[in-house]
Amino acid sequence: MRLIKVLATAIAAAVGTGALSAFGGTAFAGEPRPWQLGFQPAATPVMERIENFHDLLLIIITAISLFVLFLLVYVMIRFNSKSNPTPSRTTHNTVIEVLWTVVPILILLVIAIPSFKLLYYQDRAVNPDMTLKVVGHQWYWSYAYPDNGNFQYDSIIVQDGDLKQGQPRLLTVDNAAVVPVGATVRVLISADDVIHSWSVAPFGIKYDAVPGRVNETWFKADKGEGMFYGQCSQICGQGHGFMPIAVKVVSQAEFKDWVANAQKQYGAAEPPAVTSVAQAR
């Protein structure tokens, strides 16, 4: 009975609680949950397509595994020494050899076509509404808004002793990146020391931040307002586990108010020089 309760809790946390909070009118909880199975609830169109592609692969690999299991069981029963005391000396079968060459090729095509479409879809933003520049440092992040006042600020982890009630440990920062809900955000990612990785699971983003290079991606947080968390996923030094990512999705009106205040607070800071991939080249 206890095992059933544990499994029910895990399933609810994985597919129920997060999804209900995302679409039930409350803030989207974009962070890992206790007993979570599978992905965090998708918060962008890119992550939705990643989940769909994952489900397709799961179906394919399950079918292959069951087929191979069936063949193994069949061979063990049909061709053991008792059932088949005089084994066949057949060495070639043209039909089987053609099938085990053609069928895997067809399976790979079924996988490759949606894979390439997904890679192309998540590569570059089409007609972005705004640009967010992300720079990784040892061991914190900087965010800049070149088309919203050209200001920048640092985002540093909040220590355990300074956490407020409800703030997740090792994920909370002093200044989160802020974007408006439903906006197509082009993200330019770089670093100034070593390789980092800007990874936000609910957005379907995991891009390396490489010194001297600008990588480009995008997201559109269109599932609701809330705070979304991620972490650097490159081993970038002793502070690697202490440079979390926090993105706050707010309404359009709240974003405009935040930009006006941020321009006053951070406007004096010198933004990074690179504002586009073209300039980096």
- CATH of residue 105's domain is 1.10.287.90
Token pair belonging to 212: 């001297």
Assigned domain for 196 exists: yes
Residues in the chain: 281
**From CA 258, how far away is CA 180, in angstroms rounded?**
10
Rounded to 10 degrees, the C-alpha dihedral 41/47/50/55 comes to 20
**What pLDDT shows up at residue 29?**
58
Token pair belonging to 111: 């996988």
Q: Are residues 243 and 265 in the same domain?
A: yes
**What pLDDT shows up at residue 268?**
57
Q: Are residues 163 and 252 in the same domain?
A: yes
Q: Are residues 145 and 233 in the same domain?
A: yes
Among 93, 121, 149, identify where a domain stops.
121
Q: Are residues 80 and 162 in the same domain?
A: no
Among 65, 96, 121, identify where a domain stops.
121
Q: Are residues 160 and 275 in the same domain?
A: yes
**From CA 214, how far away is CA 267, in angstroms rounded?**
23
Assigned domain for 49 exists: yes
40 contacts 31 by C-beta, under 8 angstroms: yes
Among 62, 92, 121, identify where a domain stops.
121
- Residue 153 amino acid letter: Y
**From CA 231, how far away is CA 271, in angstroms rounded?**
23
201 contacts 42 by C-beta, under 8 angstroms: no
* C-beta atoms surrounding 281 within 10 Å: 8
Q: Are residues 227 and 141 in the same domain?
A: yes
**What pLDDT shows up at residue 119?**
93
Q: Are residues 271 and 139 in the same domain?
A: yes
**What pLDDT shows up at residue 216?**
94
Q: Are residues 140 and 221 in the same domain?
A: yes
**What pLDDT shows up at residue 91?**
82
Q: Are residues 268 and 163 in the same domain?
A: yes
152 contacts 271 by C-beta, under 8 angstroms: yes
Please list the pLDDT of the chain residue by residue as tens digits (281 residues): 444 444 434 434 444 433 333 333 334 557 778 888 888 899 999 999 999 999 999 999 999 999 999 999 999 998 888 888 888 887 888 998 999 999 999 999 999 999 999 999 998 888 999 999 999 999 999 999 999 989 999 999 999 999 999 889 999 999 999 999 999 999 999 999 999 999 999 999 999 999 999 999 999 999 989 999 999 999 999 999 999 999 999 999 999 999 999 999 987 555 454 444 444 33
**From CA 12, how far away is CA 132, in angstroms rounded?**
34
Assigned domain for 169 exists: yes
Assigned domain for 30 exists: no
Assigned domain for 8 exists: no
Q: Tokens 């050209």 — which residue?
A: 150
What is the separation of C-alpha 223 from the centre of its chain, rounded to a whole number of angstroms?
A: 15
Q: Are residues 101 and 222 in the same domain?
A: no
Q: Are residues 263 and 208 in the same domain?
A: yes
**What pLDDT shows up at residue 192?**
92
What is the domain count for the chain? 2
- Range of 62's domain? 45-121
Q: Tell me which residue of 165, 162, 169 sits closest to 246, measured CA to CA.
A: 169
CATH number (domain holding residue 241): 2.60.40.420
Assigned domain for 33 exists: no
Q: Are residues 109 and 181 in the same domain?
A: no
- Which residues are within 8 A (CB) of 165 and not within 5 positions of it... i.e. 6 or more apart? none
Token pair belonging to 216: 């480009």
Assigned domain for 6 exists: no
**From CA 273, how far away is CA 280, in angstroms rounded?**
9
Assigned domain for 115 exists: yes
